Amino acid sequence: MITETQYARFDALKLDAGETLRDVQVAYETYGRLSEHRTNAILIDHAFTGDAHAAGIDHEGKPGWWDNMIGPGKAFDTDHYFVICSNVLGGCRGTLGPSSIDPATGKPYGLRFPGVTISDMVRLQKLLVDHLGIERLLAVTGGSMGGFQALEWAVAYPDAVEACIPIATTARHSAQQIAFNETGRQAIMADPDFLGGDFYDKKPPARGLSVARMIGHITYMSDESMREKFGRRLRDRQDFSYGFEIDFEVESYLRYRGSQFVGRFDANSYLYITKAMDYFDLAAGYPSLAASLERATSRFLVISFTSDWLYPSYQSQEIVNALRSRNHDVTYCELSSNYGHDAFLVDIGEQTEIVKGFLAKCTREFRGLEARQ
Amino acid sequence: MITETQYARFDALKLDAGETLRDVQVAYETYGRLSEHRTNAILIDHAFTGDAHAAGIDHEGKPGWWDNMIGPGKAFDTDHYFVICSNVLGGCRGTLGPSSIDPATGKPYGLRFPGVTISDMVRLQKLLVDHLGIERLLAVTGGSMGGFQALEWAVAYPDAVEACIPIATTARHSAQQIAFNETGRQAIMADPDFLGGDFYDKKPPARGLSVARMIGHITYMSDESMREKFGRRLRDRQDFSYGFEIDFEVESYLRYRGSQFVGRFDANSYLYITKAMDYFDLAAGYPSLAASLERATSRFLVISFTSDWLYPSYQSQEIVNALRSRNHDVTYCELSSNYGHDAFLVDIGEQTEIVKGFLAKCTREFRGLEARQ
């Protein structure tokens, strides 16, 4: 299916940082049909550098980032469900962010864009979901930073979430996770082309952004998956260069992925979104994680992957334990995979079966509740 | 004890890359006294950014990098042993490297310095050990890249090594280890102050080198040790900046360690030494790792640490298994520590006891052999 990105605009969005953004555009896509009673809507939250194009093929022939999970007969079966995905606030793929034009100056915001949080992103998604006429989502889900948003939905809007499926995620960043993000930010800000964020009419800070992305890619793969994919194989050569050209396949891959990223992602969005991730702490303002989850009324399906060292299973287990301590309805699956953090995007066999079963049950119970009302 | 760095010079050193370096200076320090029969010498090989100053206090009051392991009554007990440590070839702390003056041009080599390997580093150390009149070392040891050198000694100069103690190390870099190094190299070379390596009469590529070091520091610590040391604590503030100033303690730490590193380490040495690490493969040219170790005649003590994810225990176990498959005398200890890769430098309680016991046994057997000759 060819999918179209759509846009919605909202007059104002109040931010955690205190400021209010005006005329806030959101890019989103939908797949499948909203049922008569509007009880089959699933919101997909994307990870760090994702966008609204989650499924189908766009006009350039590019498949959505979770096309293997969303579509007829797939985990998020568009024969049954109405699936929504929107680009996050602070992003650069159609939703308001630092590369957008500031109406006050007629120029891109750059670093004059206010700081945003996961909760701001979710507040904007709530406006979109209201706009689409959906009172209660059948499910909210996402991997990585998408999982942060799913958790935030369950706590911020308990009446609007029937089921929550956080995948390969955490309730808060550890020092190590903050450290990786900070190193990426420093790489970008160290690039002289960064110009304090005002590079839009010149060239982007390509070298810094590329290094930041290289760091990211290492953390998305596992030691094993890198060994399987590259090992110590040399790239187009029989012997070492004894210089600083590309010797190893893995060097070639990282340089390629780094430079490719520059064409599709805004360096300022990189800064804003990583900060939003680092700031996120579901338990902030509560005595404990369990206390923060007390408000939630959703069923939960929590999924993690054995070889994911960026969002290790123990972080999912913290969420599960907190939910269980408040007697929430929670299922936890640690799936075996060698693909590291990327597993939720690429190693989707078991994930599909588990999500399907969970959604079928949630659908029955959601409709049953509706029938009794 | 105040220690003095000494220097030795050698006419020529043939390199794996084919070139020959002339007038090769080596910086080294020694601690303790060489015994009459010269059977008590221990060579310490330093890790990536280490230097010859391994023990005691230098004239600026700075303790050696392994001062907790070397000295009277310590693991490498200078009341009994004669301990040697030299700065590696390609380094920037007194031994010939890319920041040294090229006699052909009267200017620093920069990237005109030839590529070096772990085996080149060890070949130069062998000249030094010969120069000190030592035929067979009681032990060669080191952590991390120091372990590469210790292993290389055991294979390249089996007659010169009684015992080999590789710590927190590997027989070859994995794709992930190469990837981290490559990202650091790209960060340095992306800095416009790098100037193709000819920055010596200007300013160093400080921002790139600092980012490279930040990446390194994350890999040296464990998830747990970062959590214990920093957690999510804010730095000198009550609330988030919602900007790109320092929010978290861990950001402050990384920025500090990154910028501090610029003052003490040469960016070109960073490039050359990381490449030497990536090239290192003890099994290269042999059908297997076990086959490469066949030539060794040393006893081995292999040590790894549970939370070290940069040089994980499975890599030490590969060495141990290869040694056992050839019936070598090998003891393996996986020590419990939360300190990650840094453990061999900081968490030295058990390491000390194990090394002491091992060295006492090696000394008895080495002297016994000598008496029989």
Structure ipTM: 0.95
The tens digit of pLDDT for each residue in A229-258 reads: 999 999 999 999 999 999 999 999 999 999
Q: Are A189 and B151 in contact (CB under 8 A)?
A: no
- Cα–Cα distance list, B123 to B89, B103, B109, B129 (Å): 10, 22, 21, 10
Question: Average pLDDT in the A330-339 region?
Answer: 98
User: SS3 of B225, please?
Assistant: helix
Q: Which residues of A touch B338 (CB under 8 A)?
A: none
Among the listed residues B86, B119, B144, B292, the single catalytic one is B144
Residue B251 has, within 13 A of its CA and on its CB side, a CA count of 22
Per the CB < 8 A criterion, the answer to whether B286 and B154 are in contact is no
* Catalytic member of B308, B313, B316, B342: B308
pLDDT at B368: 73
- The per-residue pLDDT for B371 is 61
* Set of chain B residues whose Cβ sits within 8 Å of the Cβ of A248: 175, 178, 182, 278
With CB atoms and an 8 Å threshold, state whether A183 touches B221.
no
pLDDT of A370 over the 90 cut: no
Series of mean pLDDT values for 10-residue runs along chain B (373 residues): 94 97 97 96 98 96 97 98 98 98 96 98 98 98 98 98 98 98 98 98 97 98 98 95 96 96 97 98 97 97 98 98 97 98 98 98 83 58
CA B212 to chain centre: 17
From the candidates A86, A99, A100, A144, give the one annotated as an active-site residue. Answer: A144
- Taking the alpha carbons at both ends of chain B, their separation in whole angstroms is 37
Q: In whole angstroms, give the CA distance from residue A210 to residue A257.
A: 8
Q: So what's the pLDDT on residue A366?
A: 87
A74-106 pLDDT tens trace? 999 999 999 999 999 999 999 999 999 999 999
What letter would DSSP give residue B166? Answer: E
pLDDT band at A6 (very low <50, low <70, confident <90, very high): very high
A304 is catalytic: no
Which residues in chain B have Cβ-Cβ distances shorter than 8 Å to A17? Answer: 240, 242
Rounded to two decimals, the pTM is 0.97
The chain B residue lying nearest A226, using CA atoms, is B175
Contact A266, A92 (CB under 8 A): yes
- Backbone dihedral angles phi then psi of residue B108, each to the nearest 5 degrees: -60, 145
- What span, in angstroms and rounded, lies between the C-alpha atoms of A112 and B21? 54
Phi-psi region of B179 (alpha: psi -120 to 50; beta: other; left: phi over 0): alpha
Is A144 noted as a catalytic residue in this protein?
yes
Neighbours of A222 (CB within 10 A): 23
* A4 closest CA partner among A69, A41, A59: A59
> Contact B94/B52 with Cβ under 8 angstroms?
yes
Q: What residue ranges define each of the domains in chain B, with the CATH number in brackets?
A: 6-174+281-372 (3.40.50.1820), 178-274 (1.10.1740.110)
Q: Please give the pLDDT value at position A1.
A: 74
Share of chain A above pLDDT 90, in %: 97
Closest CA to A89 of A15, A151, A154, A139: A15
Indicate yes or no: CB of A186 within 8 angstroms of CB of B255.
yes
- In chain A, the residue whose alpha carbon lies closest to the alpha carbon of B221 is A176
List, in sequence order, every residue forming a beta bridge with A164; answer none if it has no partner. A140, A300
Which pLDDT belongs to residue B211?
98
Would the CB atoms of B111 and A17 count as touching at under 8 Å?
A: no
- What pLDDT, in 10s, does the model give residues A263-314? 999 999 999 999 999 999 999 999 999 999 999 999 999 999 999 999 999 9
Chain B residue numbers touching A187 (CB-CB < 8 A): 187, 190, 211
Instruction: Indicate if the pLDDT at residue A373 is higher than 60.
Output: no
Instruction: Give the model's confidence band at A365: pLDDT under 50 very low, under 70 low, under 90 confident, else very high.
Output: confident
What CA dihedral angle connects B69, B73, B78 and B84, to 10 degrees? -10
Euclidean distance between CA atoms A207 and A255, whole angstroms: 10
A190 to B192: CB separation less than 8 angstroms, yes or no = no
